[in-house]
């Protein structure tokens, strides 16, 4: 009986915490520009708006497509934001009106209309196992 209890205690963490992997494939529109991709994986609408609570990655922008992996995710709803920091100043440069001067994109290729798309348009459902989301930069 005691052996069965130990076995259950050992297996419990594996049965409770299903984990997923999301591979974000970013298609560059200016592959020769150099710089860095700033990728944010946001687990909620509040995090999406402020980036507080998002998982952030910086990856060299080389080639036509760049991959960024997020491991050990809890299945659920997430949104991805990406911008191509061409001059590597760690911020999205905008013009005097506020329009981005550097390439950007969102999961689901969510459209922009006078600002970033709402979370619900960029939201993707991350399920158990591995999956890929493609973001095309504009």
pLDDT tens-place string over residues 68-116: 999 999 999 999 999 999 999 999 999 999 899 999 999 999 998 888 9
Note the pLDDT of residue 113: 85
Kindly state the average pLDDT of the residues 24-31.
96
Placement of tokens 């944010």 in the chain: 40
How far apart (Å, rounded) are the C-alpha atoms in residues 91 and 118?
20
Contact 86, 102 (CB under 8 A): yes
* Coil vs helix vs strand at 127: coil
Note the pLDDT of residue 120: 97
pTM as predicted: 0.85
Note the pLDDT of residue 5: 46
Average pLDDT over all residues of the chain: 90
Per-residue pLDDT at 119 exceeds 80: yes
Helices (H), the chain: 2-16, 45-50, 119-122
């Amino acid at each position: 009986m005691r052996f069965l209890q130990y076995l259950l205690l050992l297996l419990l963490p594996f049965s409770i915490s299903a984990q997923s992997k999301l591979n974000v494939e970013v298609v560059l529109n200016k592959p020769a520009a150099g710089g860095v991709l700033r990728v944010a994986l946001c687990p909620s609408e509040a995090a999406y708006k402020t980036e507080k609570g998002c998982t952030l990655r910086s990856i060299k922008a080389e080639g036509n497509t760049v991959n960024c992996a997020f491991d050990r995710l809890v299945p659920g709803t997430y949104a991805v934001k990406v911008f191509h920091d061409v001059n590597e100043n760690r911020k999205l440069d905008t013009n005097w009106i506020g329009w981005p001067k550097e390439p950007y994109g969102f999961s689901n290729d969510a459209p922009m209309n006078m600002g970033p798309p709402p979370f619900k348009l960029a939201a993707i459902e991350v399920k158990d196992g591995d999956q890929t989301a493609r973001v095309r930069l504009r």
